[in-house]
Amino acid sequence: MLNIKNLRNIGISAHIDSGKTTLSERILFYTGKSYKIGEVHDGSATMDHMELEQERGITITSAATTVEWNGNFINLIDTPGHVDFTVEVERSLRVLDGAILVLCSVGGVQAQSITIDRQMKRYEVPRLALVNKMDRVGADPYRVVEQLNEKLACGAVLLQLPIGKESDFCGVIDLVERHAIYFEGEQGEKIRRDEIPSDLVKDTDTARRSLLESLAMFSDEMMELLLEEKEPPIELIHSVIRLAVWSRQLTPVFLATAYKNKGVQPLIDAIVSYLPSPLDCDNYAWLNGHDKIIDNVDNKLLLKPNLDAVSVAMAFKIVEDPYGTLTFMRIYQGTIKKGETYYNQRSGNKERISRIFRMHANSREEIESAGAGDIVAVIGIDCSSGDTFASEKDYCTLESMYVPEPVIRIAIKAKATKDADRLSKALYRFRKEDPTLSISTDPESGETLMAGMGELHLDVYVERIKREYKVEVETSPPKVNYREAPTAAAEFDIKHKKQSGGSGQYAHIVGKMSPIPEDTETTETFIFEEKIVGGTIPTNYIPAIEKGFRSSLEKGPVAGFPVVGLSILVDDGSFHSVDSSDLAFRICAQTALRETFPRMKPTLLEPVMKMEIECPSQFQGNVVGDLNSRRGIINVTETVGATTRIEGEIPLAETFGYSTTLRSMTQGQGTFSMEFLKYKKVPSSIQEIIIKERKEAAAAGK
């Protein structure tokens, strides 16, 4: 059993191509976990173990491992950088106690860096920052720190200065210990500590003074020492950094070029020194399955990393394995043991854990038990991502991770009828593994629809179906998930009467429908209110009315897309003592939405993506012109050296096949990333085309 005090649960996250996996490989090598450094570019990276990851040179799924460093154990999760696989970052950060935000020394804070920062703040995860690729032309760590403070407001402060610039980068100056660190040997495995180069002494003194002044904001003792012009003890400096990081008010910044094997070992030291152990973190659950109720502290349960307490763990990732379903779990309290049974707090089912593993990418080490604070994988339980397990029934529920809505979908079917069953098994498995993958059936055409976060996301799953299940499939062109939204208010007075012998159906509702104002703080896409006075409609029929409205939201009356941004108030009506029923009021509500919504001047909304492009400066004009032709909006254009970075917004419908277009425009040198930003009104001319195509497709039974 691991000593909790010496345990760290951390994740490595970054914008795509910032060097996360390269850094992970060096950590594995320097900690003795692997004896050969794997590389992303030649497909030998240990953490990118999936065949598709090795071929494409990107991380698709998060990979976990455990390493040892100076008597401390680090559970390390390497997460994807591409926004299409952002759920891997979400579920990893949900269960981690600390993180490393990796940034490119030239690119700095990029689109996905901002998304990751938002995720880290959502789960209140303390972090360190690493400015990687210090050997690149145009490397500027000071600019990156400025961006961290301007764009992320994370209290970034340099703990190191670089020795040498760009290709001459050969080491770092430790501002806390005040010495130079050089990385020697064939793979940078030998660390040499030396005097600070004479030409950098003045810069070091200035930077160290600035660092201590920043830290004095978190310590009265240090403030007094600085005012008295005394040198603070080294241990005090470490202690203040540690507490400021834990409170998420400070982000220490380190420097490295992981690919050139320089700067990694001091980062591992910092993980142990500055990031919290499970003992230092407060984790709460909600008693008896209560939802999160911030104001009601009586429902909150502080989970203590006590090995003898009631066992509580979260299943945060599910992977199909040749030996069974592999479920990754973070244990928050108590101990889980092989062969024992635990309760799924959501379903109430009793599940027996048959085997427990400590994972190393796709290899494993079987163990008999695991305790509070640890992250392991188990076999033998049936659950969904985010489920809470405990040794007692109805004990508590941990708050689950945030799952973004899919924005793109395709129709998929097996080419051969005999492969239909295997395709169904594949889709069932992948949907269980990935909460952002949605599988549904089109009620009109009967087609199977697969929805996800982007083209790459769906491409990867189509490829996995072909490789892992040997099923050849046919897919339709990608389709955008549009939404229907009202722009004007409308009143309704709807009566539902039906008499066909015996008891009939009677329901009558009166009220008003209106758009939810854009500046409303709520994240709800539908608001239902009732202000019935005098019992004109009995209260027992109100849930049926709301249910009727909600059931009609999935398919709007304009073009069959889901309805959002709608507020409904029911304030009057009538009922019949014999003929009224739940069914009658549900049908009445459905009729009210169908007849009233078209009078609300509805508009279509389309998903708009935030796009970031990097390309050689000579191609900037072509790239910007192409974006404008795709209804894109340019927000920022920044040139660093020979590279131009373009930030903008573009409708998802205009991005299909963009990777091929960008490559051809930039002679294969352009890269881009996208993430969902918001829903925005579709121009009326395009809306007419979409509605026409939708109606034609429905008429043709497609």
**pLDDT tens for residues 617-640?**
899 999 999 999 999 999 989 887
In which residue are the tokens 């009558």 written?
508
Ranges 44-53, 99-108, 530-539: which has the least confidence: 44-53
pLDDT at 292: 45
Q: How many CB atoms lie within 10 A of CB 79?
A: 28
Highest mean pLDDT among 338-352, 396-410, 644-658, 675-689: 338-352
| HEC readout, 257-304 | EHHHCECHHHHHHHHHHHCCCHHHCCEEEEECCCCCCCCCHHHEEEEC
Please count the other Cβ atoms lying within 10 Å of the Cβ belonging to residue 262: 25
Residue 522: pLDDT above 70?
no
Tokens of 113: 């860096």
Asked whether the beta carbons of 611 and 673 are under 8 A apart, the reply is: yes
Which residue is associated with the tokens 């910092």?
A: 270
- How many distinct helices (H) and strands (E) make up the chain? 16, 38
Single-letter amino acid, residue 240: V
Other C-beta atoms within 10 Å of 241: how many? 23
Helices 542-553, 582-596: inter-axial angle, 10-degree rounding: 40
**Residue 465 to residue 463: CA distance in whole angstroms:** 5
More confident residue, 494 or 289: 494
At residue 674, the pLDDT reads 78
Kind and range of the H or E run holding 551: helix 542-553
Please give the pLDDT value at position 488. 93
- In b/e form, how buried is each residue of 224-234, taking b as 16+ CB within 10 angstroms? ebbeeeeebee
Which element (helix H / strand E) includes 20? helix 20-30
Residue whose token pair is 């409205």: 549
- Percentage of residues of the chain with pLDDT beyond 90: 51
The predicted structure's pLDDT at residue 1: 55
Backbone angles phi, psi at 27, to 5 degrees: -60, -45
Average pLDDT over residues 75-104: 85
Per-residue pLDDT, 293: 42
Q: How far apart are the first and last CA of the chain?
A: 58
Q: Please report the pLDDT score of residue 35 as a whole number.
A: 62
Is the Cβ–Cβ distance between 602 and 556 less than 8 Å? yes
| Nearest C-alpha neighbor of 673 from the set 619, 631, 613, 633 | 613
Q: How confident is the model at residue 214 (pLDDT cuts 50, 70, 90)?
A: very high
Q: What is the band of 54 on the pLDDT scale with cuts at 50, 70, 90?
A: low
pLDDT (0 to 100) of residue 666: 86
Q: What is the DSSP string of 156-180?
A: EEESEEEES-GGG--EEEETTTTEE
Q: What is the DSSP letter of 400?
A: -
- Residue 97 near residue 120, CB atoms below 8 Å: no
Look at residue 59 and give its three-state secondary structure.
coil
Residues 662 and 672 sit within 8 Å (Cβ to Cβ): yes
Q: For the residues 126-143, what does the mean pLDDT come to?
A: 94
pLDDT at 668: 76
User: Given a cut of 60, is residue 289 above it in pLDDT?
Assistant: no
The SS3 call for residue 194 is: strand
Work out the average pLDDT over 249-263.
94
**pLDDT above 80 for 501:** no
Element (H or E) spanning 101, and its range? strand 98-104
Q: Distance between CA 378 and CA 327 in Å, rounded? A: 5
pLDDT > 70 fraction of the chain, expressed in percent and rounded: 91
Residue 522, CB-side half-sphere exposure with 13 Å CA sphere: 12
Banded pLDDT at 291 (limits 50, 70, 90): very low
- pTM for this model (two decimals): 0.75
Neighbours of 252 (CB within 10 A): 26
Average pLDDT, the chain: 87
Which tokens belong to 116? 């990751």
Give dist(CA 603, CA 561) in Å, integer: 11
Least confident window among 31-35, 203-207, 466-470:
31-35
194, β-bridge pairs: 180
* pLDDT at 641 > cutoff 80: no
pLDDT at residue 24, as a whole number: 87
Among candidate residues 392, 380, 373, 393, the one with its CA nearest the CA of residue 353: 380
160-174, 208-222, 492-506: which range is least confident on average?
A: 492-506
Q: Is the pLDDT of residue 643 over 90?
A: no
Instruction: Give the residue among 691, 687, 636, 679 at the shortest CA–CA distance from 110.
Output: 636
pLDDT at position 362? 67
Please give the single-letter amino acid code of residue 10: I
Q: What is the pLDDT of residues 417-449, one digit of tens each?
A: 899 999 999 999 888 888 888 898 877 667 888
Residue 505 in this model has a pLDDT that exceeds 60:
yes
Per-residue pLDDT tens digits for 536-575: 999 999 999 999 999 999 888 888 888 999 999 999 999 9
Q: Are 59 and 80 in contact (CB under 8 A)?
A: yes
Report the distance separating Cα 127 and Cα 154, nearest Å: 9
| Sign (positive or negative) of CA dihedral 110, 115, 118, 124 | negative
Q: How far apart are CA 232 and CA 663, in angstroms?
A: 54
pLDDT for the residue 294: 43
For 331, the token pair is: 């244990």
3-state secondary structure of 695: helix
For residue 680, what is the enclosing H or E element?
strand 671-681
- Reduced to 3 states, what is the DSSP secondary structure of residue 107? coil
Q: Is pLDDT larger for residue 655 or for residue 701?
A: 655
**pLDDT class of 56 with cuts at 50, 70, 90:** low
